[in-house]
A and B are shown apart, each in its own frame.
With several copies, the nearest count.
Chain A
């Protein structure tokens, strides 16, 4: 008898672990080779990631598309809880499940719709990354042709990731640490605020990803652009309404209506 599921098309795929590289104590890059060719992914999109089919942990976890390298899709992950801890034990050849790419991603900033999306060549892209929010904006940097000014913040200097690479990919990099142990003392959004003082905000387009507090601060900078939400998700595909982001038009779904929202659309309180 023919299986019903074989009739259908989806972007759920088993993927082989190609590499699992430790950057420092709590940050890793996982390289995955999906069994099925996946469309895209575009910067700002994400995958729902499942370590195995055991029922605890139950839900998949969202991780941004970080980059492609050596024929693998890579994600940059930070160890904060149960799944990310289990991920550190993954070894090349093991199999995981990914669903994606999901979400809208950043607007098509270099193609034909660039002007309309506020990404005209005349504007300087300001990219703000708080912590592992870096994973979301990283693929933007390459796409932005080395013109971006990146503000990247961590709690402390030792936590800063991939700094040399970021400098190569960006026009300018401002590092920020909350304890002042490296770069600007404060958050990445505060560093951007200082930078913007006296400048014409119309000359810039903003791209920001990080914790909600940071997105709020970035939204308040007065620069047009985009923020990417990292609201908790259960399904990642728009059916559970778990990932509510407050907007003027009511709650929207980070996973399906986002994760990228125009600045001003998503409200933070």
Chain B
């Protein structure tokens, strides 16, 4: 019998597979395909204080083994989330992790306070958002601003596990360490990588916003490297993601140092992907006589 349980701070997961923020909505659509209770956790689409419109279309384009998105963090806003989306997700026996977005530290703190009070099991800070006070450079790329942000949210969050999602266009080991020192219960990575594609015939960028985020199998080797570096820099658990499409990919992230994994873009090609990946992890453990999934974490032989 395989033991798939993992702990992410106070958060106890029945298995290490979660959805990646922004790739599974608030759970309802996936529930048309499978029972979300089968997953380790459901990570919700990023939430801001007020509803965000998002960017105009086209918002997505395919690239070699990947895709660029510029959804622009469209979301229903905190109030609607608390009123409709969270209660709906509560019907499943699965921990809910809210992913939050702000344009100032104050916004993050208010979001975290409200959500912690509403009883989500985890709060994931998306620090790739532009920091309006700092001229638009993201929270995740300015070390001092980043550490202050994590510290401030830490003070607010009492019950939920606090997860900090690192930006891949900054040195991850250093930022992982800063997140840990500022009180994060876990770090997650990678977010999508800033990228661009141009239609040579129209000469226009293939996403209207010009630059978007690259995700999917193409980024996997970069993500595995970053998870390896981050996990060696900190003692808190690491949640790995970026291009996971098969059980084998998930195992690769765990070998590199991830305690749990999230599945994003793969859901777009197959809504059942998270479950198939979980099956793949289980099969790998059986083939290799591994009893506890946590034994895989960090066991790459370098």
Contacts and interface: CB of A to CB of B under 8 A. Distances in A.
A/B touching: CB–CB < 8 A: yes
Interface of A: 1, 3-5, 7-10, 12, 50, 55-60, 99, 231-246, 250-251, 256
Contacts of B34: 4-5, 7-8, 10
A240 B272 contact: no
Interface string B258-293: 000000010111111001101100100010000000
Given A7-B38, A232-B60, A58 B71 contact: no
Contact of A243 (B1, B32, B57, B269): B57
Given A5-B34, A239-B271, A251-B54, 16 more contacts: A4-B34, A4-B275, A4-B278, A5-B272, A5-B276, A8-B272, A58-B265, A58-B269, A235-B271, A236-B268, A241-B25, A241-B45, A242-B69, A243-B59, A245-B57, A246-B57
A84 to B, nearest CB: 13
Nearest to A242: B60
B58 interface: yes
Nearest to A59: B62
Interface string B235-257: 00000000001000000000000
Given A58-B65, A58-B66, A235-B268, A241 B245 contact: no
B45 to A, nearest CB: 8
Contacts of A8: 33-35, 38, 272, 275
Nearest to B66: A58
Given A4-B275, A232-B58, A237 B286 contact: no
B54 A241 contact: yes
Given A232-B57, A234-B67, A240-B23, A55 B272 contact: no
A231 B57 contact: yes
Given A5-B272, A8-B34, A234 B69 contact: yes
B138 interface: no
A72 to B, nearest CB: 23
A10 B1 CA distance: 28
Contacts of B278: 4
B140 interface: no
Consensus secondary structure, chain A interface? loop
A85 to B, nearest CB: 14
Contacts of A241: 22, 25, 45, 54, 59, 71, 74
B136 interface: no
21 contacts: A1-B1, A5-B34, A5-B275, A8-B34, A8-B35, A10-B33, A12-B272, A55-B64, A55-B216, A56-B65, A58-B269, A59-B268, A231-B57, A232-B60, A232-B61, A235-B267, A235-B268, A240-B22, A242-B69, A244-B71, A256-B29
B62 A57 contact: yes
Give chain B's interface secondary structure class.
Answer: loop
Contacts of A237: 29, 32-33, 271
B56 A244 contact: yes
Interface in B187-228: 216-217
B53 interface: yes
A10 B268 contact: no
A58 B1 CA distance: 35
A148 to B, nearest CB: 30
Contacts of B32: 10, 237
A246 B56 contact: yes
A239 B30 contact: yes
A143 to B, nearest CB: 26
A238 B245 contact: no
A12 B33 contact: yes
Contacts of A240: 22-23, 60, 69, 71, 268
Contact of A1 (B245, B271, B282): B282
Contacts of B279: 3-5
A56 B271 contact: no
Q: 6 tightest CB-CB pairs across the interface, nearest first?
A: A8-B34, A242-B60, A235-B268, A238-B29, A10-B33, A234-B268
A12 B282 contact: no
Given A10-B34, A232-B61, A239-B29, A58 B272 contact: no
